[in-house]
Structure 1
Amino acid sequence: MKNKNWVDFVTVYRKKHDSDTKDVYDLDYMNAFRLMMDAIGQYPDKEFGVVNRRTRILRAYRYVVMAVTFMCETLCITYAWKNRKTLDFFILGHLYGNIMTTAVLIQRSTLPYQKSFRSLLQRFISKYHLIHLEYESDFVKQEHIRISKFCRIVTMILSLQIFCGVATFNLVPLYNNYRAGMFSDNKPENATLDHAVFFELPFDYTTEVSAGYFAVVVFNFYPCFNVSCGLCAYDGLINILVFHVWGHFNIIVHKLRTFPKLSLEDFQQQDLVQEFNKQAFLKLKNIIQHYQFLKEFMSETSAAFETTLCAYLSFHQLNGCVLLLECSALTAAALGKYLVLTIVVFEQLIQTCMIFEQINSKSERLADQVYDLPWEQMDVKNRKIVLVLLRNVQNTLSVKALGVLPVGVMTMSAIIRTTVSYFVLLNTI
């Protein structure tokens, strides 16, 4: 019965405007998100009934990406383990950072195989997206436009981070090698060639500028691009989902704030009071349906991303410390290679947690908006409905990592404080 109500809720306006309703992928930021997902074969086209040559190639390519990622992770771990006693501390930190980042991509690569993720993406495209409600009122249409602007900005930033991250991470080692004189006839003795990623390989590519060296340099662009796309695409999806949750909250708050009230003179007229209670019942029903709809949306989001958010926060906790250690060398080479990456990583943490915090704060203030309804002018039936709604909204809605840890400003500040503490501790050893 609930599912039927939710379907009715999102289709009641679409049925009236079928000829005008746009497809979700008419929006540029949704196309950009899909392009990022397709770049690593992660978009589940089959769930939307799209089966053609292109989708079959992308599904096969998904396995290629996963195989290459597993291979790179294995070879990188092997290289770090075999050379742990001889490598420089900062090189080891670089390797650990690569290993952790690739591990995050491996975890996220499993999402298209999870039913909860596929179901969430399908329902978001077909039901939860604000485009399906924009004909409800002018406010909803304006809210959809506003949320779309936020999503567009975030998607543009993440797209820029992909290319800047890949370019910086791979070109800086080349510049470092050139600056160190590794390409000259009189190269330094016992010098080691710098790389974006180090692997355990059966040929020498760290001391001699050979065909093997250039092969590794060119190849490194590929896994770096995959990792950047994987991190930014899923970060973008999470941000888009959270922005739409925020939009639904704003719409519910607007409905509560614009709830009709009777003047003192009108309250004395029985026919106006009866008409008010009829309208109040319909509006309360709409608000409760929308709140249940939003609650289901957040529940599905938490179920699909609870493990991903846990891995994401753990990654920031560990990798942030490693990046700060790398930057602490304060050399031009270290800052050129890691400063931009460090800024991007911390920016993504702050951005994501701040967006989640908006949901938490909206949810906490919702009870006050419900209590401000003119319940004293309603009949007993409507007062009972208001009481039920008030009890429901007093339970704060939030997206949680592993269903336990709420994601927000407090979590972000705890991660940053702990990261800085670990950095100070390790830097003094």
Structure 2
Amino acid sequence: MGLKNFLFENESVHGINSPTDHLYIKILRFNLRIIGSWPQKELGEKEPVALNTFLYFYLLATIGCQLGSTVYLRAYNSELTFLEAGHTYLMILMTFIDISRIVMLTFSKEYRKVSKEFLTKIHLFYFKDSSEYAMKTYKRVHLMSHLFTLCLLSQMIFGLSCFNLIPMYNNYVAGRYKSGGTQNSTFEHSLYFKYPFDTLTDMRGYVLSNIINWILSYLCATWFCMFDLFLSLMVFNIWGHFKMLIHTLNNFPKPRSDTSCLIEGGLTVTSAKYSEEECIEVFKKLKQCVDSHRMIVK
């Protein structure tokens, strides 16, 4: 696959047998599986037992991060600069959002039910063959979803790398990796927690905490970005359904023949009237519009 095809893939039909065959859904699935938030059981996929256990580990680890950062802030509050204190407060607030998403989404049966319904019923893949305009809308939404996913994933990886590499670079420039480099200063971290060992001046403690910071920051970014990506993909498809519904209403079939009748006073009134065959077609169109509207607002 060339770079152009990778970035602007528009093969939305060939080789696609379900929505999960799309590249952007595969990216979403890969990341949500890591944090145990992909509806595997609901979609009939094999669900690893270890992954279910990790859900509780993630919750306990996130709560531990919240406590660790709070204890660190209380212990070193008088020594922190304004920027360091602000950084720690932001970390505490973001961790709180992570905990809420784990409890309200990852552990939620309703979330998994909605996810299954989107991937098995609502996705435009299941409506693309209903008309020429439906196929056109499906391809447009596919391209939007594909590019948006690649853009968000790139931003997440770039932001995650900068978040962790900048403190490491600052430590390198300040000479803290050299022998005795922390005699008059301390290691700079991307995340600050109160550990039971020294992470500010001891190299081994710093390396261990740095590895933990990389893992935790990736998990945090995944909870933030991938859930938002999932919601955005749903919005794109609902927008596509609205476009298809509006197009159907704007191009509703009109009666092919006129009926004239003579009324009192010798006036002739001519009005359009559907034939029996046309009434059947109109009924199907109306039913299609009503079903589409019900599905959108459900």
- Normalised by the length of structure 2, the TM-score is 0.84
Q: Provide structure 1 residue ranges, at least 5 long, that are not aligned to the other structure.
A: 1-19, 297-429
Say yes or no: does 1:232 pair with 2:225.
Answer: yes
How far residue 93 of structure 1 moved from its aligned partner, in angstroms, is 0.7
Partner of 1:267: 258
Partner of 1:330: none
Whole-Å Cα distance in 1 between the matches of residues 128 and 118 of structure 2?
15
Whole-Å Cα distance in 1 between the matches of residues 155 and 59 of structure 2?
22
Contact 2:255–2:275 (Cα < 8 Å) also in 1: no
SS at match of 1:268: strand
Whole-Å Cα distance in 2 between the matches of residues 210 and 156 of structure 1?
37
How far residue 161 of structure 1 moved from its aligned partner, in angstroms, is 2.3
SS at match of 1:198: coil
Partner of 1:288: 290
How far residue 156 of structure 1 moved from its aligned partner, in angstroms, is 0.8
How far residue 109 of structure 1 moved from its aligned partner, in angstroms, is 1.3
Partner of 1:166: 160
Pair 185,60 (structure 1): closer, same or farther in 2 beyond 3 Å: closer
Partner of 1:137: 131
Say yes or no: does 1:79 pair with 2:72.
Answer: yes
Supply the AA of the counterpart residue of 2:87: H
Whole-Å Cα distance in 2 between the matches of residues 289 and 202 of structure 1?
60
Q: Deviations over 1:305-355 (max 9, x none)?
A: xxxxxxxxxxxxxxxxxxxxxxxxxxxxxxxxxxxxxxxxxxxxxxxxxxx
Partner of 2:268: none
Whole-Å Cα distance in 2 between the matches of residues 152 and 200 of structure 1?
41
Supply the AA of the counterpart residue of 2:19: V
Supply the AA of the counterpart residue of 2:75: K
SS at match of 1:199: coil
Tell me which of 132, 141, 145 is aligned to 1:147.
141
Contact 1:147–1:244 (Cα < 8 Å) also in 2: yes
Supply the AA of the counterpart residue of 2:112: R
Say yes or no: does 1:56 pair with 2:49.
Answer: yes
SS at match of 1:61: helix
Say yes or no: does 1:157 pair with 2:151.
Answer: yes
Partner of 2:32: 37
Supply the AA of the counterpart residue of 1:146: R
How far residue 239 of structure 1 moved from its aligned partner, in angstroms, is 0.4
How far residue 186 of structure 1 moved from its aligned partner, in angstroms, is 6.5
How far residue 277 of structure 1 moved from its aligned partner, in angstroms, is 3.8
Partner of 2:22: 27
Residues 307-346 of structure 1: matches in 2 within 5 Å?
none
How far residue 72 of structure 1 moved from its aligned partner, in angstroms, is 1.5
How far residue 70 of structure 1 moved from its aligned partner, in angstroms, is 1.7
Whole-Å Cα distance in 2 between the matches of residues 89 and 70 of structure 1?
25
Q: Deviations over 1:88-142 (max 9, x none)?
A: 1100111111112222221111213222211101111111111111111111112
Tell me which of 98, 108, 112 is aligned to 2:106.
112
- Normalised by the length of structure 1, the TM-score is 0.60
Whole-Å Cα distance in 2 between the matches of residues 160 and 39 of structure 1?
18
Tell me which of 251, 261, 276 is aligned to 1:258.
251
How far residue 272 of structure 1 moved from its aligned partner, in angstroms, is 6.0
Partner of 2:117: 123
Whole-Å Cα distance in 1 between the matches of residues 195 and 106 of structure 2?
31
Contact 1:173–1:194 (Cα < 8 Å) also in 2: yes
SS at match of 1:142: helix
SS at match of 1:267: strand
Q: Provide structure 2 residue ranges, at least 5 long, that are not aligned to the other structure.
A: 1-14, 261-270
Q: Deviations over 1:204-241 (max 9, x none)?
A: 222x2421111111221010110111111101101001
Whole-Å Cα distance in 2 between the matches of residues 189 and 112 of structure 1?
44
Partner of 2:10: none
Contact 1:76–1:199 (Cα < 8 Å) also in 2: yes
* Bigger CA radius of gyration: 2
CA RMSD of the aligned region, Å? 2.2
Q: Deviations over 1:338-395 (max 9, x none)?
A: xxxxxxxxxxxxxxxxxxxxxxxxxxxxxxxxxxxxxxxxxxxxxxxxxxxxxxxxxx
Tell me which of 53, 56, 62 is aligned to 1:69.
62
The total of aligned residue pairs comes to 272
Identity of aligned residues (%): 27
Q: Deviations over 1:253-285 (max 9, x none)?
A: 11011111246xx22379963244443333122
Whole-Å Cα distance in 1 between the matches of residues 272 and 152 of structure 2?
57
Structure with more of its chain in helix, by fraction: 1
Tell me which of 206, 211, 227 is aligned to 2:204.
211
Contact 1:44–1:112 (Cα < 8 Å) also in 2: no
Q: Deviations over 1:38-86 (max 9, x none)?
A: 122221312223345xx22222222222222221221011111222222
Supply the AA of the counterpart residue of 2:152: L
Q: Deviations over 1:151-177 (max 9, x none)?
A: 111111222123212211111001111
Pair 21,185 (structure 1): closer, same or farther in 2 beyond 3 Å: closer
Contact 1:183–1:209 (Cα < 8 Å) also in 2: no
